[in-house]
C-alpha cells in the first residue's frame, strides 16, 4: 500500500498568518500532498525562547486558523519531545508513530541556505524528503539540489509575523493579515500590545 504523502511545515507561527496558510494550501493543491501538518515549534535553537503561555496561545491560534480544512492539520507534537526542538528528532518521531505516511519537510529558501547548520542535516536529506518554497532575496539553484530535495514555485507572500505583531502593538487594523478567528483571538486576549 503506498505511503500517504504528508508535508511537515514547522514554524514559530507567532502568530500564524495568511501567508503561512496560502503556502499550506498551495502544497496540498499543487505539490501532491494529501495533507500538510503545521507544527508550532516550542523552542527553535536558533531563536529566542518564548513563554509557556505564549506557546499555548500559538498552538490555539494555529488550531483556529485551520479549523474546517481537512487537508491542513494543526499539531503540537513537538511539545512532547525534549528541548531544544530539533527537526531530525521530530521527523524520526513522526515516522515511528505514523509508518503509513511519507513525510516531507517544508522549509523556506532562507533556511535552505543555512541548512548545513541544522542538527543532522545530512541525515534529513538522506532519509526524508525536503520541499523548499521561495523567499525573496534567496536564490536556489535547482540543478544542484540532491535527489530528495525539490523546489516548489509557491506564491511569495510578503507578510511576516513580526509585521503583524508590530502593527497590532501600534494600534493598526491587521484584520486581513491573519484569519478572522485568529484576529479575534488576538484582540480578545490583548496579545502583542507590548510588541511581545
Among residues 188, 189, 179, 193, the alpha carbon closest in space to that of 13 is found at 179
pLDDT in tens, 168-180: 999 999 999 999 9
pLDDT at 4 over 70: yes
Ranges assigned E (strand) in 24-159: 35-40, 72-75, 101-108, 129-133, 149-151
Residue 31 has phi, psi (to 5 degrees) of -115, 5
- Parse the chain into domains and list their residue ranges: 4-157
The CATH class of the 4-157 domain is alpha beta
> Residue 122: pLDDT above 80?
yes
Interior CA angle at 111 toward 110 and 112, to 5°? 90
Mean of the per-residue pLDDT values for the chain?
Answer: 94
Mean pLDDT of 116-141: 97
pLDDT of res. 50: 65
Residue 39 has φ and ψ, to the nearest 5°, of -125, 125
Answer with the residue of higher pLDDT: 132 or 49: 132
Q: What is the mean pLDDT of residues 138-162?
A: 96
Percentage of the chain surpassing pLDDT 90? 88
pLDDT, tens only, 13-63: 999 999 999 999 999 999 999 999 999 998 655 555 667 788 899 999 999
Query: What integer pLDDT is reported at residue 42 of this predicted model?
Result: 85
Q: Hey, what's the cell of 192?
A: 502583542
134 confidence band (pLDDT: 50, 70, 90): very high
Whether 145 has a pLDDT exceeding 50, the answer reads yes
State yes or no: pLDDT of 89 exceeds 60.
yes
- Following CA atoms 50, 118, 30, 36 in sequence, which dihedral angle do they give, to the nearest 10 degrees? -50
Amino acid at each position: 500500500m503506498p505511503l500517504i504523502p504528508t508535508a511537515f511545515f514547522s514554524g514559530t507561527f507567532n502568530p500564524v498568518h495568511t501567508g503561512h496558510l496560502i503556502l499550506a494550501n498551495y502544497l496540498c493543491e499543487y505539490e501532491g500532498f494529501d495533507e500538510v501538518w503545521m507544527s508550532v515549534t516550542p523552542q527553535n535553537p536558533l531563536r529566542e525562547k518564548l513563554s509557556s503561555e505564549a506557546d499555548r496561545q500559538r498552538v490555539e491560534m494555529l488550531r483556529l486558523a485551520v479549523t474546517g480544512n481537512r487537508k491542513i492539520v494543526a499539531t503540537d507534537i513537538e511539545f512532547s519531545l525534549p528541548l531544544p526542538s530539533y527537526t531530525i528528532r521530530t521527523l524520526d518521531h513522526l515516522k515511528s508513530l505514523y509508518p503509513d505516511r511519507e513525510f516531507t519537510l517544508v522549509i523556506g529558501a532562507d533556511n535552505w541556505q543555512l541548512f548545513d547548520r541544522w542538527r543532522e542535516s545530512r541525515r534529513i536529506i538522506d532519509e526524508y524528503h525536503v520541499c523548499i518554497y521561495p523567499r525573496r532575496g534567496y536564490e536556489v539553484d535547482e540543478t544542484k539540489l540532491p535527489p530528495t530535495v525539490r523546489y516548489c514555485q509557491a506564491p511569495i507572500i510578503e507578510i511576516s509575523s513580526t509585521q503583524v505583531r508590530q502593527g497590532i502593538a501600534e494600534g493598526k487594523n491587521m484584520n486581513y493579515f491573519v484569519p478572522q478567528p485568529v484576529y479575534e483571538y488576538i484582540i480578545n486576549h490583548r496579545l502583542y500590545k507590548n510588541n511581545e
